Chains A and B, each alone.
Chain A
Amino acid sequence: MKQPGRILLGLYCLLVAVWLVAPTIVVVPMSFNDKKSLAFPPSGFSWQWYQNFFTNPEWSASLIGSLKVAVVTAVFATVIGTLAAFGLDRMKSRVSGVLRALLITPMVVPGVVLAVGIYAVYLDTRLVGTMTGFVLAHTMLAVPFVIIAVSASLEVFDKRLETAAASLGATRLTAFRTVTLPLIAPGILSGLLFAFVTSFDEIIVALFITSPYLKTLPVQIFSSITRDADPTVAAVGTLLFITTSLVIGAGLLICSRQGRR
C-alpha cells in the first residue's frame, strides 16, 4: 500500500480507538469534581465522592451485595460451564453442535424479555431480592461465557498427550489431573473471570429482581444516574477501571512470563 494510504488508515484507527477508550477515561476527571455536577470540565478538585462511596451505606451495601453475588455466580458458572464444555467435547459433533447452540442462547435473548420472565417466575417463587434468585439468574447468563472459554482451550488441547500419558503409566484420572487440567487451566480461569464480570456488570435482570434488602452495584449506579447528577458514580467508575486495569495488567504480566514456553 502507498504511504498516504497507510497514514490515512492509521489515523482512522486512532480515531476509532479514541472512540472506544474515551468514555472509559472521561469519568476519571469527573470523579474529582468539587461540585455536585457532571458538567465538563470539572470546576475544581476534591476527594469527596470517593469518601461518599466508602462511607455512604447505600453504596457500600450495594458493592458488597454485588461482590457476593458475583463470587458465588463465578464459582457455580465455572463448574457447570466447564463440565458442559467437557461433555460437548466428548460428544458426536452433530449432537454437540445443537446442544452448544442451545446453551449459548442466553447471550442473544433480549435482556428485558428475559428479565420480565424471570421476574414473573421469582414473584411466584418468592425469589425476588434473594441471593438465590440473583445467583440462579446470573449463573445462567454466565455459563455461556465459561463454555466458550473452556471449549476454546479444549479445542487447541492436543488429546494425543493423554495417549502419551497413558503409555507412560498414567490412569485416565491421573492423565486428566497432571496433563489435561494444567493445560486447559487458562481457559477455565478466563471463564471464571468472564463469569464474575458478567454477574458484576449485569443490570437488566437485576433491576427487575432487586429489593431494598439486596441491591447490586449496577442497580445503585443506575438509580443514582436517573435520580440526580451524582459524581459518586464517576468515582465508582474510576475505581472499577483502576481495579480491572490492575487485574488485567497482572494477567498480561503472567502470560508474557509464561509466553517463553
Chain B
Amino acid sequence: MASPSTRGAAIDLKSVSKHYGSFIALDKVSLGIKPGEFMTLLGPSGSGKTTTLNVIAGFTEVSSGSLDVGGKSVIGVPAHKRNIGVVFQHYALFPHMTVSRNVAYPLTLRGIANPDREARVRKALDMVKMADFGHRFPSELSGGQQQRVALARAIVFDPPLLLMDEPLGALDKKLREWLQLEIKRIHRELGTTFVYVTHDQEEALVLSDRIAVFNQGRIEQIGTGRQLYDEPETLFVGKFVGDSTILRGAASTSGNETAIDIEGRKVAAAKRLADGAKPVMLLRPEKLSLARRGKGGQGRNTLPGRIGEAIYLGSGSKYEVVLADTSKAIVRSSLDAETFAIGDEVDLVFAGSDVKLLADDENADFTLT
C-alpha cells in the first residue's frame, strides 16, 4: 500500500438533491471533503446522511447537482466502476466464501493473480488483525470479527476513498469503542479518505477530522468536533452534539446592553440582540455549576431550581435540575464539588459569556431510534 497522505481522493458535492416522489431525501447538499480526511456524516434517522453515502458510492443516482470524486465527475458512473470501498452496517460478507476468498474477491475481479493476490489479502487481514481467520466462514465469526473482515475486503484493493455506513451500529458498546480506535489507526496508516456515517455523536467526536451534521435532508453545519460543540450555529447542532441546557426568554435591549428575561430573572447576554427578540440560550453542562439556594453565585447569573435527578457517574456527578418554568437543565460536576440530593433547592450558576444565543427552530427536535 502506497505512502500515506498522497492517496486519498477529494470529494466535492455541489447542490446535490435527491427526490423520491414528493419526499425530499437530500435538499441541495454541498460538501467538500479533502484528500485523506476523516469526514463523518452525523444525523438522526432519515436526515439524509445514508442517502449522501449511497450517492457517493453510486448506489443511488442524484436527482440534481454535481458530484466529483478525485477531481472527476462520477455522475452516471455505475457503482462497480467507481473504485470506492464500502463497509456496510450488516457486514455483507458473502456467506459461501471463506474470509480469505471474501477479501480476495475484489482482487479477483480486477484480474490480480497469485502470488500478488495472496500477499495483499494477507496484508489486509493483518491490518485488521484477522490474519488467523482466513480459512473460516463468516458465520463462524462474531459480529466484530465479521466487521473487521468487511473492512479488510473494502481496503484490499487500495481504493482512494472508503465509505462506512454505521459499521459499528450492530455491536455492543465496549467492542464499538475498541473498534473506533482500530478504525482511527487504520485511517492513519492508509491515508485514504474516509467518509463515515453514524447517528452516534460520541462516535463522531472520537473518530473525525470534521463532522457534517445532517438534519431533514440538509447539512446544518460542517466543522471539527470542537467547533460543533463550542460554537454550534444552529439549535439542532447544539442539541444533537453533546448534552445541553436550553433556556428560552425574551430579550430587552437598551444601548449596547442586552438582558434576557427568563421567568422574571435578568440574564446578561454576551451580544446585542434586537429588543423583544425571543432567542434560545444554550449552555453546556460543564459551564454550569450549582449552589444551595441563595448561597454563592454572586456576580454571576443565577436561576432557581430543584434537583430532579442525581446520577453518580464515577468521574463525577450529573444532575438534572428542574427550573421554575419546568424546563430542565443538565449540570455536570466534578468529584470534589459539593453533592446534592433529589429535591434540594438550588441555584443554577453560569457566566453570561458561556451562553450561546441561537435562533429558535421548530425543526430542531429529533428522535433517536
Direct contact of A and B (CB under 8 A): yes
Q: A21: CB under 8 A from chain B?
A: no
A175 to B79, CA, bound (A): 12
Residue-by-residue, is A245-261 near B (CB-CB < 8 Å gives 1, otherwise 0)? 00000000000000011
Across the interface, do A164 and B96 meet the contact criterion of CB distance under 8 Å?
A: no
Across the interface, do A261 and B94 meet the contact criterion of CB distance under 8 Å?
A: no
Known: A260-B137, A260-B140, A261-B137. A171 touches B92 (CB 8 A): no
Please report which residues of chain A, range 147-188, place their CB below 8 angstroms from some CB of chain B when the two chains form the complex.
158, 160-161, 163-172, 174-175, 178-179, 182-183
- B92's partner among A160, A170, A172 (CB-CB below 8 A) is A160
Chain A interface size, as a band, is 20 to 34
What A residues does B137 contact at CB under 8 A? Answer: 260-261
Name the 4 nearest CB pairs between A and B, nearest first: A164-B92, A167-B86, A168-B106, A166-B79
Known: A167-B80, A168-B157. A261 touches B88 (CB 8 A): no
> In the assembled complex, how far is the CB of residue A211 from the closest CB belonging to chain B, in whole angstroms?
46
> In the assembled complex, how far is the CB of residue A186 from the closest CB belonging to chain B, in whole angstroms?
10
What A residues does B140 contact at CB under 8 A? Answer: 260-261
- A168's partner among B59, B105, B139 (CB-CB below 8 A) is B105
Known: A164-B86, A178-B105, A261-B139. A169 touches B110 (CB 8 A): yes
Across the interface, do A167 and B139 meet the contact criterion of CB distance under 8 Å?
A: no
What B residues does A169 contact at CB under 8 A? Answer: 80-81, 83, 106, 109-110, 157
Known: A174-B109, A260-B137, A261-B140. A167 touches B95 (CB 8 A): no
> In the assembled complex, how far is the CB of residue B80 from the closest CB belonging to chain A, in whole angstroms?
5
30 contacts between A and B (CB under 8 A): A158-B92, A160-B88, A160-B90, A161-B92, A163-B88, A164-B86, A164-B94, A165-B80, A165-B94, A165-B105, A166-B58, A166-B78, A166-B79, A166-B80, A167-B58, A167-B79, A167-B85, A168-B85, A168-B154, A168-B157, A169-B80, A169-B81, A174-B109, A178-B105, A183-B94, A260-B137, A260-B140, A261-B95, A261-B96, A261-B140
Q: B84: CB under 8 A from chain A?
A: yes
> In the assembled complex, how far is the CB of residue B128 from the closest CB belonging to chain A, in whole angstroms?
16
What B residues does A170 contact at CB under 8 A? Answer: 80, 105, 109
Q: B122: CB under 8 A from chain A?
A: no
What A residues does B88 contact at CB under 8 A? Answer: 160, 163-164
Q: B57: CB under 8 A from chain A?
A: yes
A171 to B140, CA, bound (A): 28
Q: B148: CB under 8 A from chain A?
A: no
Across the interface, do A167 and B84 meet the contact criterion of CB distance under 8 Å?
A: yes
What A residues does B94 contact at CB under 8 A? Answer: 161, 164-165, 179, 183
Please report which residues of chain B, range 276-317, place their CB below 8 angstroms from some CB of chain A when the two chains form the complex.
none
Instruction: Add 15 more A-B contacts to A166-B58, A167-B59 (CB < 8 A).
Output: A160-B88, A161-B94, A164-B86, A164-B88, A164-B92, A165-B105, A166-B78, A167-B57, A167-B154, A168-B105, A168-B153, A170-B105, A183-B95, A261-B96, A261-B139
What B residues does A158 contact at CB under 8 A? Answer: 90, 92
Across the interface, do A171 and B86 meet the contact criterion of CB distance under 8 Å?
A: no
> In the assembled complex, how far is the CB of residue B279 from the closest CB belonging to chain A, in whole angstroms?
46
What A residues does B110 contact at CB under 8 A? Answer: 169
Across the interface, do A182 and B92 meet the contact criterion of CB distance under 8 Å?
A: no
The secondary-structure label for the interface of chain A is: helix
What B residues does A179 contact at CB under 8 A? Answer: 94
A165 to B106, CA, bound (A): 8
What A residues does B58 contact at CB under 8 A? Answer: 166-167
What A residues does B90 contact at CB under 8 A? Answer: 158, 160
Closest residue of chain A to B82, judged by CB? A167
Please report which residues of chain A, range 169-224, place their CB below 8 angstroms from some CB of chain B when the two chains form the complex.
169-172, 174-175, 178-179, 182-183
What B residues does A161 contact at CB under 8 A? Answer: 92, 94
> In the assembled complex, how far is the CB of residue B58 from the closest CB belonging to chain A, in whole angstroms?
8
Across the interface, do A163 and B96 meet the contact criterion of CB distance under 8 Å?
A: no
What B residues does A165 contact at CB under 8 A? Answer: 80, 94, 105
Across the interface, do A182 and B83 meet the contact criterion of CB distance under 8 Å?
A: no
> In the assembled complex, how far is the CB of residue B81 from the closest CB belonging to chain A, in whole angstroms?
8
Across the interface, do B105 and A163 meet the contact criterion of CB distance under 8 Å?
A: no
A160 to B139, CA, bound (A): 17
Across the interface, do B105 and A171 meet the contact criterion of CB distance under 8 Å?
A: no
What A residues does B153 contact at CB under 8 A? Answer: 168
- A182's partner among B96, B105, B106 (CB-CB below 8 A) is B96
A88 to B125, CA, bound (A): 40
What A residues does B85 contact at CB under 8 A? Answer: 167-168
> In the assembled complex, how far is the CB of residue B85 from the closest CB belonging to chain A, in whole angstroms?
7
What B residues does A178 contact at CB under 8 A? Answer: 105
Most interface-central of A163, A164, A260 (chain B CB within 10 A)? A164
Closest residue of chain B to A261, judged by CB? B137
Closest residue of chain A to B54, judged by CB? A163
What B residues does A160 contact at CB under 8 A? Answer: 88, 90, 92
What B residues does A171 contact at CB under 8 A? Answer: 80
A165 to B92, CA, bound (A): 9
What B residues does A172 contact at CB under 8 A? Answer: 80
A158 to B154, CA, bound (A): 19
> In the assembled complex, how far is the CB of residue A169 from the closest CB belonging to chain B, in whole angstroms?
4
A261 to B106, CA, bound (A): 22
Across the interface, do B59 and A163 meet the contact criterion of CB distance under 8 Å?
A: yes
Residue-by-residue, is A126-161 near B (CB-CB < 8 Å gives 1, otherwise 0)? 000000000000000000000000000000001011
Please report which residues of chain A, range 38-82, place their CB below 8 angstroms from some CB of chain B when the two chains form the complex.
none
> In the assembled complex, how far is the CB of residue A174 from the closest CB belonging to chain B, in whole angstroms?
7
